[in-house]
């Protein structure tokens, strides 16, 4: 397993361009299974999770033609559904979270979809009930083998049939999966309590450009009029909003002047304002974000009545849970106190132990809540050796290491590489002292 060695304490300077969004790319790549025509996808991030999914599609028989870097043309005209029943698939399908979203398209187009328990971060319970309840509502038969955690759905002879459904929770990958199954079902499906992240808006736009009939895009009520078949299209993935948030946090905590290029401001939702609540100056310059060097630190804004600032996650358009670990680390050097409330996942805050070792003042109240008492840079974090437990804790620890005095070591960096493209190289380009060993 690789490690990063990071010498912290020096401000960075320059421009950084976000990669394509990992979580959008996972949905979009699965959607290529919905047609036998060519689908060209641009701005695909070159990261472990995405590359694993591309390999999986290739093993299913999807033709993959690489264009310029980041652009691939897929053609699913000779899909080998038999691959789903092989031992190789059982291993491969369980290696990442996003693979769950091949089930909806396969069920819709080929009448069956199987998947082993998907991987992804170990950040608490990650149920799949919403996905499978959705397929069952469309008429699919469901089976689950408890021994090897293998899930399967099959459609009846007459195919899937549209219906009205109310999801038990606004699951991101669950909504994507159900939408991809419903686009080819007979009749109309309505999905209420649908997730509506930009990832999903992009997926629906892509499906519509392939000939699907989806309305309500961007809201929590989607109406999908089923069509006979879909055709090819070209789609460009948005910049990764979680990477953008990560670079905002990095800039503030290392007192660096950084411009984040081409961020697609209209798709950032509450992200800029949430960092502003920590006292970080974020300027909109055309479609870039400019962050000045915070030489005098940043001061947390309290609520109107003076009570302690709380930053909590919520389904979109709420604040994404994937940025809470980054907000937490940035708060350790703010002037003022912040309560971080991670409502969705119960094991995502345990990495604070490592920050406490580095000298951060954090009180973990329970698995979901931590109070951070900012140092206001009066005391610098100390370098240490740490292991990255999940992707976002990993990047948070990396930010902490870049702001700390001395040389830190981060182990288990595959966790970071699965979501951040050539991160060491890109950070070195703006002056970071980071090497991969
Ligand atoms: C590949 C991918 O796209 N992964 C993202 C996706 O995962 P994923 O789609 O797996 O996450 P879900 O949206 O299904 O649910 C995430 C967690 O939040 C809980 N939950 C969800 C909705 C809700 O209204 N209430 C609630 O409590 C779920 O029970 C679960 O524990 O969405 C998560 C939530 O934004 C992100 O952290 C992941 O990065
Ligand atoms: C939790 C995440 O990813 P995954 O769902 O792939 O585990 C994430 O991107 O923060």
Q: What is the pLDDT of residues 93-137, one digit of tens each?
A: 888 889 999 999 999 999 999 999 888 777 788 899 999 999 999
Q: Which band of pLDDT confidence, cut at 50, 70 and 90, is reported for residue 1?
A: confident
Give the model's pLDDT for residue 275: 98
Distance between Cα 391 and ligand 2 center (Å): 7
Please check whether residues 201 and 313 belong to one and the same domain: no
Residue range(s) defining the domain that contains residue 84: 22-236
For ligand 1, say whether the CB of 315 is within 6 Å of any of its atoms: yes
Please check whether residues 83 and 193 belong to one and the same domain: yes
Of 120 and 420, the one with more pLDDT: 420
Please check whether residues 346 and 229 belong to one and the same domain: no
* 287 flagged as catalytic: no
- Residue 167's CB: how many other CB atoms inside 10 A? 21
> Is a pLDDT exceeding 80 seen at residue 204?
yes
Q: Is residue 311 within 8 Å of 319, Cβ to Cβ?
A: yes
Ligand 1 atom 4, closest CA: 23
Ligand 1 atom 18, closest CA: 344
Give the model's pLDDT for residue 119: 80
Instruction: Report the residue among 97, 176, 246 best suited for mutation to probe ligand 2: largest number of ligand atoms under 8 A from its CB.
Output: 97
- The DSSP-derived string for 6-64 is EEE----EEEE-PPBPHHHHHHHHHHGGG-SSEEEEES----HHHHHHHHHHHHTT-EE
Q: Nearest-CA neighbor of 296 among 328, 252, 248, 332? A: 252
Tally of structural domains, the chain:
2
pLDDT digits 0-9 by tens, 241-280: 999 999 999 999 999 999 999 999 999 999 999 999 999 9
Percent of the chain with pLDDT over 90: 94
> What integer is the mean pLDDT of 340-347?
96
Computed over every residue of the chain, the mean pLDDT equals 96
Burial bucket for residue 206 (CB in 10 Å: 0-12, 13-18, 19+): buried
* CATH code of the domain containing 410: 3.65.10.10
Residue 97 half-sphere exposure, CB side, CA atoms within 13 Å? 24
3-class SS string, 183-251: CCCECEEEEECCCCCHHHHHHHHHHHHCCCEEECCCCCEEEEECCCCCCCEEEECCECHHHHHHHHHHH
Please check whether residues 222 and 255 belong to one and the same domain: no
R_g over Cα of the chain: 22
Please check whether residues 171 and 134 belong to one and the same domain: yes
Distance between Cα 415 and ligand 2 center (Å): 10
For ligand 1, say whether the CB of 391 is within 6 Å of any of its atoms: no
Please check whether residues 301 and 374 belong to one and the same domain: yes
Name the binding residues for UDP-N-acetyl-alpha-D-glucosamine: 97, 322, 344
Q: Which band of pLDDT confidence, cut at 50, 70 and 90, is reported for residue 71?
A: very high
Which of 121, 240, 313, 417 does the annotation list as catalytic?
A: 121
Distance between Cα 173 and ligand 1 center (Å): 7
Please check whether residues 211 and 289 belong to one and the same domain: no
Please say which residue of 213, 236, 259 terminates a domain. 236
> What integer is the mean pLDDT of 342-367?
96
Distance between Cα 119 and ligand 1 center (Å): 13
Please check whether residues 220 and 333 belong to one and the same domain: no
Please say which residue of 236, 267, 297 terminates a domain. 236
pTM of model > 0.80:
yes
Q: Tell me the backbone φ, ψ of residue 330, rounded to 5 degrees.
A: -65, -35
- Residue 225's CB: how many other CB atoms inside 10 A? 15
Ligand 1 atom 13, closest CA: 171
| Lowest-confidence pick of 5-14, 38-47, 110-119, 392-401 | 110-119
For ligand 2, say whether the CB of 321 is within 6 Å of any of its atoms: no
Please check whether residues 264 and 363 belong to one and the same domain: yes
Please say which residue of 181, 212, 236 terminates a domain. 236
Ligand 2 atom 8, closest CA: 322
Tokens 């919520």 locate to: 314
Name the binding residues for phosphoenolpyruvate: 22-23
Please check whether residues 8 and 27 belong to one and the same domain: no
Which residues are 410's β-sheet partners? 4, 386
pLDDT digits 0-9 by tens, 217-246: 999 999 999 999 999 999 999 999 999 999
Instruction: Sort strands 309-312 and 337-341 into parallel, antiparallel or unpaired.
Output: parallel
Which residues are 260's β-sheet partners? 16, 289
Give the number of the atom of ligand 2 that is nearest the alpha carbon of residue 119. Answer: 7
> What integer is the mean pLDDT of 1-7?
93
Give the model's pLDDT for residue 143: 95
For ligand 1, say whether the CB of 173 is within 6 Å of any of its atoms: yes
Ligand index nearest the alpha carbon of residue 48? 2
Please check whether residues 148 and 187 belong to one and the same domain: yes
Please check whether residues 55 and 183 belong to one and the same domain: yes
């Amino acid at each position: 397993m690789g490690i990063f060695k990071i010498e912290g304490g020096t401000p960075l300077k320059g421009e950084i361009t976000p990669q394509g969004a990992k979580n959008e790319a996972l949905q979009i790549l699965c959607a290529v299974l919905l047609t036998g025509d060519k689908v060209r996808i641009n701005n695909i991030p070159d990261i472990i999770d995405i590359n694993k999914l591309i390999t999986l599609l290739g093993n299913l028989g999807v033709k993959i033609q690489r264009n310029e870097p980041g652009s691939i043309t897929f053609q699913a005209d000779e899909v080998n559904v038999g691959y789903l029943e092989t031992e190789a698939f059982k291993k491969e399908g369980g290696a990442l979270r996003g693979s769950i979203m091949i089930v909806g398209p396969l069920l819709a187009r080929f009448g069956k979809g199987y998947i082993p328990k998907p991987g992804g971060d170990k950040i608490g319970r990650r149920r799949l009930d919403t996905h499978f309840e959705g397929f069952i509502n469309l008429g699919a038969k469901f089976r689950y083998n408890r021994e090897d955690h293998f899930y399967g759905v099959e459609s009846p002879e007459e195919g899937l049939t549209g219906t009205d459904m109310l999801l038990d929770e606004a699951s991101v990958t669950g909504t994507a999966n159900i939408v991809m199954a419903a686009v080819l079902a007979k009749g109309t499906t309505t999905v209420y309590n649908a997730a509506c992240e930009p990832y999903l808006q992009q997926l629906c736009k892509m499906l519509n450009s392939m000939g699907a009939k989806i309305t309500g895009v961007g809201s929590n009520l989607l109406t999908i009029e089923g069509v006979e078949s879909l055709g090819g299209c070209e789609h460009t993935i948005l910049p990764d909003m979680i990477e953008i948030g990560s670079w905002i946090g990095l800039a503030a905590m290392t007192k660096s002047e950084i411009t984040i290029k081409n961020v697609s401001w209209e798709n950032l939702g509450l992200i800029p304002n949430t960092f502003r609540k920590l006292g970080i100056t974020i300027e909109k310059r055309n479609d870039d974000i400019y962050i000045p060097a915070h030489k005098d630190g940043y001061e947390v804004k309290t609520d109107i009545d003076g009570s302690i600032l709380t930053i909590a996650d919520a389904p979109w358009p709420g604040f994404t849970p994937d940025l809470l670990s980054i907000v937490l680390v940035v708060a350790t050097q703010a002037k003022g106190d912040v309560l971080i409330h991670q409502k969705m996942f119960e094991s995502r805050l345990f990495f604070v132990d490592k920050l406490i070792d580095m000298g951060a003042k954090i009180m973990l109240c329970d698995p979901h809540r931590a109070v951070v008492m900012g140092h206001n840079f009066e005391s610098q974090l100390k370098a240490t050796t740490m292991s990255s437990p999940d992707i976002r804790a990993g990047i948070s620890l990396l930010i902490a290491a870049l702001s700390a005095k001395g040389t830190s070591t981060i182990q288990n960096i595959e966790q970071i590489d699965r979501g951040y493209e050539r991160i060491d190289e890109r950070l070195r380009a703006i002056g970071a002292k980071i090497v991969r060993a």
